[in-house]
């Protein structure tokens, strides 16, 4: 990078981290100890002004590596000591030890690989002993000295760390479809923590949080992990844990990366702030954890306990199915519901933290109180609302009972999750050419415009190709990028409360899933698979495109010389060789009425 450009680049950095106060130094070095048997939190930020200036000058000549969102989360906890005793991304020896037996090379317990993954071209461009500049959001974050580089056995990592090479697991899917194929490891010298502009006062580093707890006179501290909104049952569990441990309470939710589809952290933190009003004064403190979760169940729970130890907790609540990702590809839970509690208990003494584990808490109607499920009085009826049921109530605009949560929390959730009748949504038609996508889409558009509650935009495959994707060909990569662009536009339309109707062929399942994930952050998504047989589509082809493909005049034509992957779980499947257009449109509109997207059906 040219010097003038680099100076402009450096001018965007945040102010240098000030030298720690006496209180922070005390909290970092003595209070409650740290993981690994020492008494000092790792602090990788270069705090001496002269040393920092030298590092910044050196950085202008270094090769840059732009960090992903997940890598930024890892770097932040490496730099601020949350990952004590790690002093950088793991080298190969530490990685191998962690994968095989949950231990670093020096024998210290550590259950999760913390590695910097790179693409092949970036991997080949660096060498052991080289220094590189890690950047995020256009800012210099840290200088890394490469100590080792290697190509990992990802299948082995998936099996040993996550329990199975099953891409239904979000971390395994990330491992094979998002992460680079090569790893590098090495020591870090921190220039600055990744900047945040939301809930800044709640984002305390381990040293800052320890200092705040010291200042408040806290001795014992029980930490509570969550990635979901908190309700009355969570308050009951945390108060019970506080009472049993005779400890103050640290509400320590993850606001980095959680499971795809989780409630966004902006909504959750607003809920947490309201929840804090329902604890006695001085009992609890709220602080945010910038962690990228792996959803690794039992091993993740051990990891969480280690991190909370570093943040100053003496006790840690481990919940039912802690950090579980849900079901595997066979429809079974990846981990047993109490496996996490058992594994953390095994290592609790080594970590130096007391484990508080509880059974599921349920509401007992006759007693108007919460009980652990194994302590419910005989003959009493139990009430509970699952996450799925809560979403259904929100989407239907139905009342959420006071026994389940607090009115302030309901109000916040309704802002983010309005009833489906007020949400935008996307109708994603997929199927072979001439299967009927455009014709049926036009019919649905007319019906929705007659209903009149939303704007309706049709994203035809032909128009998108001609405008947004005019430079793309028909390779799998280009087709996937075209579908992702459709997903981006559809998500923005849905976010604004409108209806997007997509009619692209979209032949590949992964790209359709990406599109679904993008839209579902902002509204509803209805995949409509037109399963019309290939021979029928060929008979309908007035332009003779299928015939040209059969003769080899057109290549990469879906259904002839390029594959079509049928959707695995579409909301609707329609074979237009068996039903009329009018019947198909009526079926789709009725589905929208039943699911609450459309309040009143129109005559079709």
- What amino acid positions are annotated as catalytic residues? 226-228
Angle between helices 407-416 and 387-396 (to 10 degrees): 70
Residue 130 token pair: 């080289």
* Residue partners of 299: CB distance under 8 A and separation at least 6: 102, 111, 112, 161, 343
* Residue partners of 208: CB distance under 8 A and separation at least 6: 24, 27
Between CA 576 and CA 531 the distance in angstroms is: 7
Between CA 147 and CA 403 the distance in angstroms is: 55
Cα-trace Rg, the chain: 27
* Residue partners of 259: CB distance under 8 A and separation at least 6: 170, 227, 293, 295, 325, 326
Could you tell me if 590 and 528 are in contact, meaning their C-beta atoms sit under 8 angstroms apart? no
Residue 286 token pair: 């709220």
Between CA 10 and CA 166 the distance in angstroms is: 43
Report how far Cα 200 is from the mean position of its chain's Cα atoms. Answer: 20
Between CA 186 and CA 282 the distance in angstroms is: 42
Between CA 529 and CA 525 the distance in angstroms is: 13
3-class secondary structure, 221: strand
Between CA 57 and CA 6 the distance in angstroms is: 10
Residue 278 token pair: 């329902």
Angle between helices 581-594 and 437-451 (to 10 degrees): 50
Max CA distance (Å), the chain: 82
């Amino acid at each position: 990078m040219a010097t003038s450009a680099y100076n402009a680049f450096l001018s965007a950095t945040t102010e240098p981290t000030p030298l720690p106060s006496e209180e922070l130094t005390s909290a970092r070095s003595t209070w409650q100890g740290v993981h690994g048997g020492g008494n000092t939190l790792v602090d990788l930020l270069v705090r001496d002004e002269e040393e920092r200036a030298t590092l910044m000058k050196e950085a202008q000549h270094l090769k840059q590596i732009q960090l992903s969102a997940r890598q930024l989360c890892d770097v932040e906890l490496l730099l601020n000591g949350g990952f004590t005793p790690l002093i950088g991304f793991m080298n190969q020896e530490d990685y191998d030890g962690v994968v095989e037996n949950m231990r670093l090379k020096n024998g210290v317990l550590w259950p999760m690989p913390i590695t910097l993954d790179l693409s092949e071209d970036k991997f080949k461009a660096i060498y052991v002993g080289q220094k590189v500049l890690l950047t995020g959001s256009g800012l210099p974050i840290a200088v890394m000295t490469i100590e080792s580089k290697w190509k990992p056995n990802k299948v082995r990592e998936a099996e040993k760390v996550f329990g199975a090479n099953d891409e239904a697991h979000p971390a395994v899917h990330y491992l094979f479809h998002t992460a680079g194929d090569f790893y590098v490891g090495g020591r870090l010298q921190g220039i600055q923590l990744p900047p945040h502009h939301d809930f800044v006062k709640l984002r305390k580093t381990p040293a800052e949080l320890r200092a705040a707890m010291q200042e408040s006179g806290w001795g014992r501290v029980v930490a509570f992990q969550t990635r979901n909104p908190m309700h009355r049952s969570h308050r009951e569990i945390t108060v019970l844990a506080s009472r049993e441990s005779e400890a103050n309470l640290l509400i320590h939710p993850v606001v980095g990366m959680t499971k795809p589809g989780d409630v966004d952290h902006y909504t959750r933190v607003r809920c947490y702030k309201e929840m804090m009003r329902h604890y006695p004064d001085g009992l609890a403190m709220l602080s945010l954890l910038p962690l990228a979760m792996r959803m690794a169940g039992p091993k993740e729970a051990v990891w969480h306990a280690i991190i909370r130890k570093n943040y100053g907790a003496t006790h840690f609540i481990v919940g039912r199915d802690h950090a579980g990702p849900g079901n595997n590809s066979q429809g079974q839970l990846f981990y047993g519901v109490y496996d996490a509690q058992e594994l953390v208990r095994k290592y609790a003494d080594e970590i130096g933290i007391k484990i508080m584990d509880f059974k599921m808490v349920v509401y007992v109607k006759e007693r108007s109180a919460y009980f652990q499920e194994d302590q419910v009085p005989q003959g009493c009826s139990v009430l509970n609302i699952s996450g799925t049921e809560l979403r259904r109530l929100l989407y239907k605009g139905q009342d959420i009972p006071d026994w389940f949560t607090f009115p302030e929390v309901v109000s916040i959730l309704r802002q983010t999750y309005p009833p489906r009748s007020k949400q935008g949504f996307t109708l994603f038609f997929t199927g072979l050419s001439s299967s009927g996508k455009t014709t049926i889409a036009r019919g649905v558009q007319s019906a929705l415009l007659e209903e009149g509650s939303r704007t309706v935009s049709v994203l035809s495959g032909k128009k998108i190709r001609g405008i947004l994707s005019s430079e793309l060909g028909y390779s799998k990569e280009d087709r996937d990028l075209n579908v992702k662009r459709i997903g981006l536009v559809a998500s923005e339309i849905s976010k604004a409360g409108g209806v997007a109707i997509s009619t692209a062929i979209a032949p590949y399942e992964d790209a359709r899933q990406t599109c679904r994930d993008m839209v579902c952050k902002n509204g509803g998504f209805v995949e409509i698979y037109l399963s019309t047989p290939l021979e029928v589509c060929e008979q309908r082809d007035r332009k003779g495109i299928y015939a040209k493909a059969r003769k080899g005049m057109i290549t990469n034509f879906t259904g002839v010389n390029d594959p079509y992957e049928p959707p695995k779980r579409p909301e609707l499947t329609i074979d237009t060789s068996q039903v009329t257009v009018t019947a198909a449109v009526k079926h789709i509109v009725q589905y929208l009425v039943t699911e609450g997207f459309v309040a009143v059906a129109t005559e079709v």
